Structures are given as C-alpha cells and as structure tokens.
Structure 1
C-alpha cells in the first residue's frame, strides 16, 4: 500500500486530488474528524460513494480512521503535505513536500532570511500570537514563491532569446545545469533527462560560439 511515509508520487497525488468530491472531503476533515454519514450529507453524495473516496484517500495515506467509544468510525487527515504545481512557458512539474524536521534551521539557508526563534512560553495567548506570526510568515513565503516564479520566467525568457538560435529550450536547460560549476556530460544528461549524445552535440555547438569550454572535469560556461 502506498502512503505518505513512502513519499507518494506527486503525479499520483495530483490525479487523486483532481476529483472535486475528494477535495471537499479533505476540506471538511481539515476542520474536524467526521464519520461517513456526516460526510455524505456535507458533500451531497451517497454513503457508498463516500466510502469509495475514503478508501482511495486511505490507500494514499492522506486519511486515517479511529473508532470512538460508541463504535462510530471517524476519519481524519493523516499528516501534513504540500503539493506544488509549476506551470510556465519553460517548465511544468509537480512536487510533493512533506514537513521538514524540527531541527531544520531556516536561518542557515543561503537565499532565505527569516526569524525562526520563538519564546518558550506555551500559554494560550503565546500560542495564539505564534499562530498569527506563522500565518504571516506563510503569506510572505507564498508571495516570495510567486516573485521567484516570475523572475525565473523572466530570466529564462532572456536566456531563451539567445538559445533560440542554438538549440531552443534544451540549450537553456543545459546552460542552467552548468551555471556556476563544471559538469560532466552524463551528469547534465541525468538532470535535463535527455540522451548524453544530444547533450554533447549541444555543448559542441556552444563551444564553437565560445559560450562553453571543455575542462578536465567536464564542461563550464566561459563567462
């Protein structure tokens, strides 16, 4: 059985969540644990259909169940998951992100500066203030992601203006893979997911234009 702990494929998650009723079930369960009849009334479909949706969500590891003292079976969301979808003229992809370790220090990130330290108090007022601050941080990170996506598209557009005469998007991907370091042909081929022979052909063309150089360790951008 596939579950979140085994890192379910992001494409499979996207297919699973493409169903509106399953999304509505998760929206309800995000508010409170619920039983089948309650879910059925909330989304307006038969209990039989709800059971089928819940089965698929359980198999994916998105939902778990427990039985209360009255032997009523309640369903609840299993754990945190973030599913990202990227669509631009230069990229399409999905990525599932799971909760990072509590030991992760965002303050040590190379390109990100956020305050992650909190006071040790655990009173209701302190927890409410922490929740509010984290929600503000979540909004800011979301805006930062959108800004980065926009800048990525702009830079890729500028790079593609050059690359259009030298191999198109594949040239852009290869130059991106070479940015800031020497790379071997097989390493580049794995990253851009094309045959090594095609990568080598593009690199040879770029070399003739003095864009890249061959080194002892592989290839590098000239400047």
Structure 2
C-alpha cells in the first residue's frame, strides 16, 4: 500500500485504536464499539476503510457473528530531519532471509529456536525475549543513524556553503556512489541535466570535485 495513503488512513485516532485492539485478539463490531465508545455504525465505517486498505480481514463463526482481525504484517517508517522527509511501507522479509549477507553493516547474534515438535516452551520463550531485545536495539540504532546522518549532512553543508546545499550534497553522494557523468548524476539525483551540469561547475570552482578523462570525481 502507498505509504502516503497509509499515513492518511492511520491519521484517525479511532482507526489506530481499532488496530491496537485487534492486535490483542479478533473482535466483533459490538466489542469494538464498546471499547471505543462510539456507535457501531462509525465502527463499521472505520473497519470498511481498513478492509479496503488490506489491513483488516473478517471471518464468520458458527453463530454467524463476524469477527475482524489484522490481515498481515506491515511496517511503516517515517523519516523527518532537516535534510529529508520520507515515508516507506513494506511487508516483513521472509524469515529465511540471510541477514548476515543482506545487512553487511550489522552484526546480529540471535539464536533461532528449532521449529520441530521437540522444541521446548522455554526455548521458544527465550527466542521471543531475544527478538524483543533485538527489536529495541534496532529501534535505538535507527534513531542513532538518523542523528548521525543529520550531523554528517551538517558537515557537508559547511563544505558546500550554499543555499543549494542539499542538491550539492546529493551530487557528491552520487559521484561517491559511482555516477561519473552529468547524465548519470542527473538520473541519480533526479534533477535536470542543465542544473546538475551548472552545479558541478560550481563544486569544481570550490575545489570539491574535478573533471578528468571524461569523468567527474570527488577531490581529495
């Protein structure tokens, strides 16, 4: 689902409260209505929107009572800093994904309990505790990385010293990432060719980049 649409959907407090409740257990409309303190009609409207978005599903029991439950795992990330604003929504990766090769800058030490029938409750509870601790540490790491990104962008802005600091910084990052022609850099930074070309000449005048053998490079 588009992250902007998801933000709009979750901007309603009652829909967030519904999801918190359903994360505990499946519920029928009357239960949700009593929990929220709003009319069943309003609850049905919220549930319809959550269903349309694919966040909630329903099933009917033997008494033909409809129960609602959360349909799937979904992660929404919002990044706000002086240099960027972005949202990203994604479904969790497969549990079989090899994180040691995917996340080269992270060291993960988590023992996964066996999935066979011989696994003890103690082993599963131990794995749960380890994963909850890892989730907490990763959350802290994400906040630390965002803070460091802002610090580094501040330092780059000092080097660039211009109202176009963000564009200049993106151009430097593109060059560092291997883009070495105006066309390639313009594609990476998603800016018009002429603007990128003019920016490169300005960066060159400041001694931050240079042109050699048909390629743009970052100065030492």
Fold agreement, TM-score > 0.5:
yes
2:14 is the counterpart of 1:21: yes
**Alpha-carbon displacement from aligned partner over 1:153-177 (angstroms, at most 9, x marks no partner):** 0000010112223732211122122
Residue 204 (structure 1) shift: 1.8
Alignment partner, residue 124 of structure 1: 121
Q: Match for 1:10 among 3, 28, 44?
A: 3
Is the 8 Å Cα contact of residues 32 and 76 (structure 1) preserved in structure 2?
A: yes
The 8 Å contact of residues 62 and 77 in structure 1, kept in 2 or not, is answered as yes
What is the distance in 1 between the residues matched to 2:206 and 2:153?
Answer: 20
Which residue pairs with 2:56 in the alignment? 63
Q: Aligned with 1:49: secondary structure?
A: helix
Q: What is the Cα deviation at residue 117 of structure 1? A: 4.0
Cα-Cα RMSD: 1.8
Give the equivalent residue in structure 1 for 2:187: 190
Task: Report the Cα offset of residue 216 of structure 1.
Answer: 5.6
Contact residue 110 and residue 131 of structure 2 kept, 8 A: no
Match of 1:75 in 2: 68
Identify the range of structure 1 (196-205 vs 180-189) with the bigger mean alpha-carbon deviation. 180-189
Count the aligned residue pairs: 216
Segments of structure 1 that go 5 or more residues without pairing to the other structure are: 1-7
Does the CA-based 8 Å contact 2:55-2:70 persist in structure 1?
yes
| Residue ranges of structure 2 left out of the alignment (5+ in a row) | none
Residues 25-174 of structure 1: matches in 2 within 5 Å?
Answer: 25-108=18-101, 109-120=103-114, 122-165=119-162, 167-174=164-171
Query: 1:219 matched to which residue of 2?
Result: 216
Q: What is the CA deviation profile of residues 69-110 of structure 1, one whole-angstrom value per residue up to 9, with x for unaligned ones?
A: 111101100111111111111111111121102231111222
Match of 2:199 in 1: 202
TM-score (norm 2): 0.91
SS of residue matched to 1:31:
coil
**Alpha-carbon shift at residue 124 of structure 1 (Å):** 1.5
